[in-house]
Structure 1
Amino acid sequence: MSEPVLLSWSGGKDATLTLERLLADTRYRVAGLLTTVTADYGRIAMHGVRRSILHRQAASLALPLYVAELAADADNDAYETAFAHALATAREVEPELATVAFGDLFLADVRAWREAQLARHGWRGVFPLWGEDTARLAQDFVDRGYRAILCCVDTRQLAADFCGREYDTHLLEDLPPGVDPCGENGEFHTCVYAGPLWPEPLALTQGERVLRDGRFQYVDLLERGAA
């Protein structure tokens, strides 16, 4: 019998590739998406993507969504509480759940932190993309027909004008030396809106651009026709 698993979902390319791997692996059955949302802004933490788009992604993928709600100024204890509540909510629906899958690629300290966090709640983590070549993963994402937009850029690592660009072959060619093509060092984050797993593309348009904390350039992605 396949093991039920939650997928840590940011709405970006690595999470999408992880979902694709899980769906192709008979050991697992994806039971839902697990996302952290900053409640003050109604946006996915770090990525800055609106909650409405997150819900549209989940609906399009036909997967339940479990959200850890955080205040903008939440400390680690508040995060742990919200995370534990989201896990418990998912387990009420799927009592056999005890595993969360992540799209991390090579940052060992991040993986160790996730594993320790899950262990405190009696869960474990799996990392389907771990150790894979990021240049190959990036090109494979593009070649397979996925479409994504850079929704956040760390301007200490990458020029602000990359924010809002399509994640495509041209962008990969334009990335300066030292920038990981998957943005694994936090150089950028993406929002996926089309591809093999989507029955139809999400209709998105770009709105206001905002620099936060003097460092992170965001573009506000909107559903076409929404205010």
Structure 2
Amino acid sequence: MNKAYFNWSSGKDSTLALYEIIKQQEYTITKLVTTLNSDVDRVSMHGLREALLDLQAESLGLPLEKVFLSGNVSMAEYSKILGATTEALAAEGNTHSIFGDIFLEDLKAYREEQLDRVGIKAVFPLWKRNTLELIHSFIDHGFKAITVCVNAKHLDKSFVGRVIDKQFIDDLPEDVDPCGENGEFHTFVFNGPLFTKPINFEVGEIVERSYTPSSNDEDNCFSEDKKSWNTQFYFCDLIPTELS
């Protein structure tokens, strides 16, 4: 089978994509690869503690490689670090790289272009599938997830720290994608068919954070159109306890 590494976000789309790719039996998953914010040692965008990511990988039974990026990383630095990472992964014999993306054509094209430089093929098992069907499939398969970050532009504070279930989906505003594929919300998956054990945690503080794009770095990730970026989020801190 083809050797592939999996780009792991710790959330529901990654989990469902991993579930689908394992069913296909076409790839040997060599490891999970996750980017973290080096300023706070948390999963990028999700705000998830590194310790919970470690417990998740342990329960999934897969090796984990962490890529640390500054919280204010420029696009040039991002591409440089990820480029070096993919070169090393290709040298390890990985021929494919798997993602949980569903939409976002520009991001898909960027990923494919970067990977093509090192001879790795990008794989998107959920691409263009109906997101309402996907989220119901996630729930029906028995996966358990909780929201750890919501975009304040699209959802109010009551949506963060909630378990993803059918009531959650019914409560979403009509303009919010059921999988949060436009960045409306991010999740942490703590149990389901792929897990050897559930991950135990306590729900901690809920905080609101605003991010200001850098005005000094023209190559900052926010610089292309600062007005179009959403910069206000609610985060729910999850505090790890022992695996049961």
TM-score scaled by length of structure 1: 0.93
Match of 1:141 in 2: 138
Aligned positions of 1:191-202 closer than 5 A:
191-202=188-199
Change (3 A) 1:65 1:91: farther
Contact kept, 8 Å, 1:68 with 1:85, in 2: the verdict is no
Match of 1:121 in 2: 118
Alpha-carbon offset, residue 88 of structure 1: 4.0
Match of 1:171 in 2: 168
Alpha-carbon offset, residue 89 of structure 1: 4.2
Match of 1:222 in 2: 239
For residues 102-156 of structure 1, the C-alpha deviation after alignment (integer angstroms, 9 at most, x for no partner) is 1111221221121122223332211001111110110111111110000000010
Match of 2:53 in 1: 54
Q: Secondary structure at the match of 2:85?
A: helix
Q: Which amino acid aligns with 2:123?
A: V
Contact kept, 8 Å, 1:147 with 1:167, in 2: the verdict is yes
Count of residues in correspondence between the two structures: 222
Q: Which amino acid aligns with 2:13?
A: D
Alpha-carbon offset, residue 91 of structure 1: 4.3
Gap runs ≥5 in structure 2: 211-230
Contact kept, 8 Å, 2:90 with 2:120, in 1: the verdict is no
Alpha-carbon offset, residue 85 of structure 1: 3.4
Contact kept, 8 Å, 2:87 with 2:118, in 1: the verdict is no
Alpha-carbon offset, residue 172 of structure 1: 0.6
Contact kept, 8 Å, 2:48 with 2:238, in 1: the verdict is yes
Match of 1:14 in 2: 13
Contact kept, 8 Å, 2:59 with 2:198, in 1: the verdict is no
For residues 28-85 of structure 1, the C-alpha deviation after alignment (integer angstroms, 9 at most, x for no partner) is 1111111110111000100110111111111111111112111112112221232133
**Alpha-carbon distance between aligned partners in 1 of 2:60 and 2:54, rounded to the nearest angstrom:** 10
Q: Which amino acid aligns with 1:115?
A: E
Q: Which amino acid aligns with 2:122?
A: G
Contact kept, 8 Å, 2:150 with 2:184, in 1: the verdict is yes
Q: Secondary structure at the match of 1:142?
A: helix
Contact kept, 8 Å, 1:39 with 1:70, in 2: the verdict is yes
**Alpha-carbon distance between aligned partners in 2 of 1:145 and 1:70, rounded to the nearest angstrom:** 33
TM-score scaled by length of structure 2: 0.87
Contact kept, 8 Å, 1:151 with 1:189, in 2: the verdict is yes
Match of 1:156 in 2: 153
Runs of 4+ with >3 A deviation: 88-92
Q: Which amino acid aligns with 2:200?
A: A
Question: 2:126 aligned with 1:109, yes or no?
Answer: no
Q: Secondary structure at the match of 2:28?
A: strand
Match of 1:76 in 2: 75
Change (3 A) 1:90 1:63: farther
**Alpha-carbon distance between aligned partners in 1 of 2:68 and 2:149, rounded to the nearest angstrom:** 20
Alpha-carbon offset, residue 189 of structure 1: 0.4
Contact kept, 8 Å, 1:67 with 1:86, in 2: the verdict is no
Contact kept, 8 Å, 2:3 with 2:27, in 1: the verdict is yes
**Alpha-carbon distance between aligned partners in 1 of 2:32 and 2:175, rounded to the nearest angstrom:** 31
Alpha-carbon offset, residue 206 of structure 1: 1.1
Contact kept, 8 Å, 1:43 with 1:50, in 2: the verdict is yes
